[in-house]
Amino acid sequence: MTMKSAPIYFDNAATTPMDERVLEEMLPYFKNNFGNPSSVHSHGRNARETLEKARKKIASLLNTSPGEIIFTSGGTEADNTAICGAIETYGIKHIITSPIEHHAVLHVVEHEVKEKNIRLSLLECDAEGNLNMDQLALLLEKEPNSLVSLMHGNNEIGNLNDIERIAALCKQHGSYFHSDTVQTMGHYPIDLKALPIHSLSGSAHKFHGPKGVGFIYINKTKKINPLMLGGGQERNNRGGTENIAGIIAMAKALELAFDDQASHAEEILQLKTYLKSQIEKNIPGVTFNGLSGNLDKSLYTVLNVSFPPSENNQGMLLFHLDLEGISASGGSACSSGARLGSHVLNALEADPSRENVRFSLSRFNTKAEIDHVVKILAGLYQA
């Protein structure tokens, strides 16, 4: 009887496994140090002290002040807060974004445009997902008091945007710049003293922390009205009792990510390079969506593969991989049940006859896992 191989997880862009050191850091805050940080007694004071230490740690890692870090339930809340808050606070009447943003940005933008009669400009992108920066410059010159929301790294096709250039353009024209940095936070160095950005978002479960906790950075010169109203928590920036255990874990996870960021990047890029070369070697006719196949211009964690049509698979490639214990994605996990498929690949006018699989890697993956995955893929594509 053939023994089934251990499960292989190649969907780290959807969520990452929690680092054991992060779990150990957060466990005491479920059992013993469980106080409400808004309470004035000793349990509450201890929780408040712990909360502010975590805030200072994250602020230090990003080279900013603790008062500019606001804890949220995750990246979606952070994106919603930044966009809605900027619109309300600064009377924004024009939004610039792109058709390949995460739905946490696109859906709230669509809602605000409809409800508040705001003009929307979507940047053009080519077949590789490159955004038209000349168009951005022209739009900002025409309407300087705009809100620009453009992600740092695309979760589906791995494209990296030049947020330094975008920030400089927004600063030049007096526009508000928000970036969804959920896919790059903890994976790339971010210096908020050097980057003239007004807000950005992070989510712990994308860098080996827990789900359900994230943060938003809001530059002190461009404060915005809160989205969540309540008991005045987070210095009146976000109502709701803080998730102490999650916040402690997030700070630890980000610290671990930045401690070894360069070595992690090199290690994971080597895995991605190997995965790409082995897929090309063993399966004729594969291509790569967006810039994910360009090892110099894309997230080192993401490889989005376009497979040729196959009689063996007939649209069931992900299903066959799952049967073999291999977890990967056909696009963003947040839209995996959508009938229309990936809005990102649709924007790139990808060939609908081909099957697309996003493999996303972490430091917990191995070369042996890649060998097994490629062996399964090659078997599925044999005549």
Catalytic residues: 334
Q: Would you call 149 exposed, middle or buried from its count of C-beta atoms within 10 A (0-12, 13-18, 19+)?
A: buried
Using CA atoms in the order 314, 315, 317, 319, what is the torsion angle rounded to 10 degrees?
Answer: -110
What's the token pair of residue 174? 């007096």
Strands (E), the chain: 8-9, 69-72, 94-97, 119-122, 147-149, 176-180, 199-203, 214-218, 287-288, 302-307, 326-327, 355-360
Q: Which residues pair with 11 in a beta bridge?
A: 360
| CA neighbor of 81 nearest in space, from 190, 212, 217, 235 | 217
Residues contacting 175, CB < 8 A, separation 6+: 96, 140, 144, 145, 146, 147, 148, 169
| CA neighbor of 19 nearest in space, from 146, 206, 151, 152 | 206
Taking phi over 0 as left and psi of -120 to 50 as alpha, with beta for the rest, 7 belongs to beta
Strands 69-72 and 214-218: antiparallel
Cα separation of 202 and 78, whole Å?
A: 8
What's the token pair of residue 58? 């994250």
What's the token pair of residue 240? 């709701």
First to last CA, the chain: 26
Q: Contact, 123 vs 148, CB < 8 A?
A: no
Cα separation of 53 and 70, whole Å?
A: 13
What's the token pair of residue 125? 């992108």
How many Cα neighbours within 13 Å face the side chain of 144? Answer: 6
